[in-house]
Structure 1
Amino acid sequence: MLRAKITLVVVAAAALAMTLAAGLSYRGVSDLVAEQFDHALEDRAVTVVTLLGVSRTPPARPGTTEQVVSAEGAVRPLDPGRAALPVPESTLGVARTGRGSAREDITVGGAEYGVLTVPLPGGGAVMVAQHYAGAERIDHAFLWRVPWTTVAATALSALLSWLALDRILLPVRRLARVTRDITATQDLTTALPPAGRDEIGQLTRSFASMLGALGRSRAQQQRLVQDASHELRTPLTSVRGSAELLQRGRGRLAPEDEEQILVTLVTEAAALDTLVRELVDLATDRSTEEDPAEVDLPTAAEEAAHRCRQRTGRSVTVTVCGPVAVRARPRAVQRCVDNLLSNALKFSPGDSAVTVHVEGTRLSVRDHGPGIAPDERGAVFDRFYRGPRTQAVPGSGLGLAIVHDLVTADGGTVFATAAPGGGAEVGLRLPAHGPAACSPAR
């Protein structure tokens, strides 16, 4: 559960931060208490020396013991009711020399004292000892309060994190619920929750874009299946009818009739083979596996024209002016030029020439056929489209659709216009990757 995991991370971070802060604070407090303890010893020593200088006995203070040490080491407690303190060597040195001071820790009766020795003006020294009980009490109180404070603060941070994450993760839960519904119903039109400007909003918009792409892909697949079933029905019906006619009239048909039926079978089978191959190419688009590269359009046009001349024996001319290198998939460009040439040869008279013209990043193929009406120039790139004047021409209506899909996948555009003097001019434009430089026509 994401909410619980994030809460655990927040609580662990908070507990670690508070533990570190408590440790540093304890160290600072300990140093401060020790410093104040030493200041208290120094203040008490000054007070005792001052009072002894005016022949007065300092008043007793709880937890504190004072005594005077002579240069010979004799000890005189200032509070007769208290036992004498042991005299360290450092204290004797101050008493004998009358200079400097000595700071020691001693233990008397199981109790630890901090001792400060300072010289007296008339000779000797005074020892001021203070019990560590007060400092230890502060230290223990701090140590007891730190764990409870840390636990309480950690619990509070866990509660606040849990409540805050409930609100923060609400859009994620909504998005997850909607995606579960989409998975269960397969309804790609289901509306997603409103998207904000944060990362969750970006995720929602990405899901919306993905669903839109899936919806368009599904619609295109359905349309392709519907169109393909419609287009396949005609050649299949013709093949089946011709085959049934041969079966019923076996041995009774005239040789010329039988020959005509066989020609029809071969023609329709070839058309069916072409249609199925183009459908497979259109549905799979194997050229998408190819990486874009720099393509020289004049070279691609010359190679396609050469293949077309060898295959059909028709006249194909290539002219070039200002070629510009383009970035596209090389095999996809070759397929597009081949399809444009096949389309032009299909609608041109057998004795007419077809011209391929390359200018900059624009490649066009001009034919001398019946032309394309203005209201049909955009529809010729639709799948299975057959214009009123081209219904009798063999073909599947997929060649220009394949060109459209391949070119737009590389960021280019396609066009179809009327050619001067009759015929049509169909071509493509691809993104440029270099300055134009005019060259003579080929």
Structure 2
Amino acid sequence: MRTRLTLVVFTATVVAIVVALVTAYRSVSPLVAAQVDRSLGDRADTVIAVLRAADAQSVSGGGAGPIMPGGAVPVGAMLPVRSDMTEQLLLADGTVRPLTTGRDPLPVSASDLAVARAGSGSVETEIMVGDRSYGVLTKARPGGGAVMVGQDYAEVERVDREFIWRTASITAVAVLLVALTAWLAIGRILRPMRRLAQATQRITTTRELSTVLPEAGRDEIGDLTRDFNAMLAALRLSRAQQHRLVQDAGHELRTPLTSVRGSAELLQRAKGRLEAADEEQVLTTLVQEAKALDALVGELVELATDQHADEASARVALPDLAEDCAQRFRRRTGRAISVHNEISTGRDEGDTPPADVVVRPRGLARCVDNLLDNALKFSPADTEVEIRIRGTELAVLDHGPGIDTADRTAVFDRFYRADRTRATPGSGLGLAIVHDIITAHGGTVYTADRPGGGTEVGFRLPPAR
């Protein structure tokens, strides 16, 4: 990743610099060309002015003018010499008279001759003299003829080449510095990620979840590291819960299995010699223990796999769900079960009518079923079980013996059986399942004494948004 990121930075830098240089070059080139054109125009105007002054001096002194046939042009000393420029006078008849000595004459084209004959206008061209490139401006001269001024582009081309080479070398150095800086900076930035990758690879190899990932900064990598640590903590808790579940399940399964084995061995040894009543009792014990085993295994599977975890969440009205569960238990048991929707008028809570919750419907129904089953199991058959709903709180109230204060938290632990209920059928997993499902939905469970005797067991869920 370090190499790829460095290449990305390197490529982006090169592209940015090249685009900037090309844009700058294209912006400057017209300015340089315009400056050359102005230089040619200024030089031509200067030559024309010098020639006008030479004409005036010749007329006043009676000397030969600069445009007289065969006459000398006495203006060389009056022109500021420029090594990159050549000037000449083009007469209307096509005669060329040099204005600077030691320079090759500029070739005359038909357009140049037309300007000289017309005595007005100007024309600008680019020509080659030998192996050198010239920009030539032919400008009409008042009084006849034209002035031709040529500028050697060698210096301009040299500056252009030097600009290109210098910018190329500076660009190369800058790009290399950027690449080196990016390599070092990215390496420093990715150092926590490398440590994180090494730690996770070590965890994958050793399966040791107790490893704590190295602390990182407050950037995205730091957030990722903290998320990994939180995930590892959750995995450690899950593994510990699985180990405890296996140990508790083994302990709880041992009793019914021992009973089943003892009854089966008794039947095997007796080989039909038992009295009919005794044999019936042994078979009844076998059936009861098998049913208990079946129920226990079913609850273990549900607790370990959370069968409703893949169920989609939906908006649920607690009164409707409670009524459905109550109706199902009324048909199944024939017991009296009532559902009451209350409005909280507590000083802190204010008026709170029953509210909807967002939950997994079947999972929440299992919670209510477990609470009802628990209440019906521990309350007299001639008493009523009540479901009370207040806001997002649902409680099941019975007239049973109640729960000791010391047991109120422990009843939600797996396989926990209070001393007074050990003789009652059950696995001790019903309330544990309620606890796991409700906490998975962000809720809480609780137990309390019911006024007038009995127990209140319920849960509170966050309201739907």
Instruction: Tell me if both proteins adopt one fold, taking TM over 0.5 as the criterion.
Output: yes
Of 147, 155, 167, 2:188 maps to 167
Structure 1 residues 357-436: aligned runs within 5 Å: 357-433=388-464
Distance 1:344 1:135, change over 3 A: same
Do 2:338 and 2:387's aligned partners in 1 also have CA atoms closer than 8 Å? yes
CA distance in 2, matches of 1:317, 1:396: 26
Task: Specify whether residues 240 and 45 from structure 1 end up closer, same or farther in structure 2 by C-alpha distance, changes over 3 A only.
Answer: same
User: Partners of 1:363 and 1:353 in 2: how far apart?
Assistant: 17
Equivalent residue number for residue 156 of structure 1? 177
Aligned residue pair count: 433
In structure 1, the residue matched to 2:70 is none
Map of 2:385 onto structure 1: 354
Shift of residue 12, structure 1, vs aligned partner: 1.2
Tell me if the contact between 1:316 and 1:355 (Cα under 8 Å) persists in the aligned partners.
yes
Shift of residue 93 of structure 1?
4.0
SS in 1 for 2:308: helix
Q: 2:371 aligns to what SS in structure 1? A: helix
Q: Aligned runs of 1:221-236 on 2, under 5 Å? A: 221-236=242-257
How many Å separate the matches in 2 of 1:355 and 1:60? 117
Query: Any residues of structure 2 matched to 1:172-183 within 5 Å, and which?
Result: 172-183=193-204
CA contact (8 A) 2:315 2:358 kept: yes
Q: Which amino acid letter does the alignment assign opposite residue 387 of structure 1?
A: A
Query: What is the CA RMSD across the aligned residues, in angstroms?
Result: 2.1
CA distance in 1, matches of 2:84, 2:389: 107
CA distance in 1, matches of 2:315, 2:375: 26
User: Given the alignment, which residue of 107, 120, 125 partners 1:86?
Assistant: 107
Letter paired with 1:346: K
TM-score computed with the length of structure 2 as normaliser: 0.87
Q: 1:234 to 1:94 in 2, by over 3 A?
A: same
Q: 2:370 aligns with which of 339, 364, 367?
A: 339
Structure 1 residue 396 displacement after superposition: 0.4
Structure 2 gaps, min length 5: 55-74, 343-352
Aligned counterparts, 1:11-410, within 5 A: 11-55=10-54, 56-57=75-76, 58=79, 60-321=81-342, 322-410=353-441
1:252-289 residue CA offsets vs partner (Å, 9 max, x unmatched)? 32322222222211111111111111111111111112
Alpha carbons 1:41, 1:116 under 8 Å: kept: yes
For residue 286 of structure 1, give the secondary structure of its aligned residue in structure 2.
Answer: coil
Answer 1 or 2: higher relative contact order, Cα 8 Å, separation at least 6.
1
Q: Is the 8 A contact 1:26 1:142 kept in 2?
A: no
AA aligned opposite 2:427:
S
CA distance in 2, matches of 1:80, 1:46: 19
Is the contact between residue 30 and residue 139 of structure 1 (CA under 8 Å) also seen in structure 2?
Answer: no
More moved, 288-297 vs 138-147: 138-147
Distance (Å, rounded) in 2 between the aligned partners of 1:60 and 1:323: 104
**How far did residue 386 of structure 1 move?**
0.7
Gaps of 5+ in 1: 435-442
Whether the 8 Å CA contact 1:340–1:400 is kept in 2: the answer is: yes
CA distance in 2: counterparts of 1:183 and 1:18, whole angstroms: 45
Q: CA deviation at 1:110?
A: 4.2
SS at match of 2:299: helix
In 1, Cα distance between equivalents of 2:405 and 2:50: 120
The secondary structure found in structure 1 opposite 2:309 is: helix
Shift of 1:355: 1.8
Greater Cα offset, 169-178 or 354-363: 354-363
**Structure 1 residue 59: Cα displacement:** 5.2
Question: How far apart are the structure 2 equivalents of 1:297 and 1:202?
Answer: 38
Query: What is the CA distance between 1:97 and its match in structure 2?
Result: 4.2
Give deviations 1:148-204, integer Å, cap 9, x for gaps.
333333222222221222211111111111111211221212121112111111111
164-173 or 37-46, which deviates more: 37-46
Matched residue type, 1:199: E
